[in-house]
Amino acid sequence: MAAALPIVCSPVGDVKTILEENECGLLATDHEFGKTIKRLLTNSYLQEKLGKRALHVAHSLFNWTHLADQLEEFYQKILHGAKLH
């Protein structure tokens, strides 16, 4: 993502949510991976669109400031006795 490249991954967990909410890659089941990668490789407009979004997401969600804020929030919850899942 930080290389401004779109990604193709399985639709599981937080990865699915990040891709769906930010439109920065494609989801594919095990049986669809090859077809999905081929779709991406043969569509330069889609590559560019998803790649630009991926770079934006990488800079906004996965930077040190954001990660530090999340960690601080986590510690605050622990200090205040919140139950963690």
pLDDT at 71: 92
3-class state of residue 13 by DSSP: helix
> Helix 44-61 crosses helix 13-22 at what angle (to 10 degrees)?
110
pTM: 0.67
Span 27-81, pLDDT tens digits: 999 999 999 999 999 999 999 999 999 898 888 877 788 889 889 999 998 888 8
pLDDT band at 15 (very low <50, low <70, confident <90, very high): confident
pLDDT at 50: 93
Instruction: Please state the domain extents for the chain.
Output: 7-79
Residue 8 is classified by DSSP as E
Conformation bin of residue 81: beta by default, left when phi > 0, alpha when psi is -120 to 50: left
* pLDDT of residue 84 exceeding 70: no
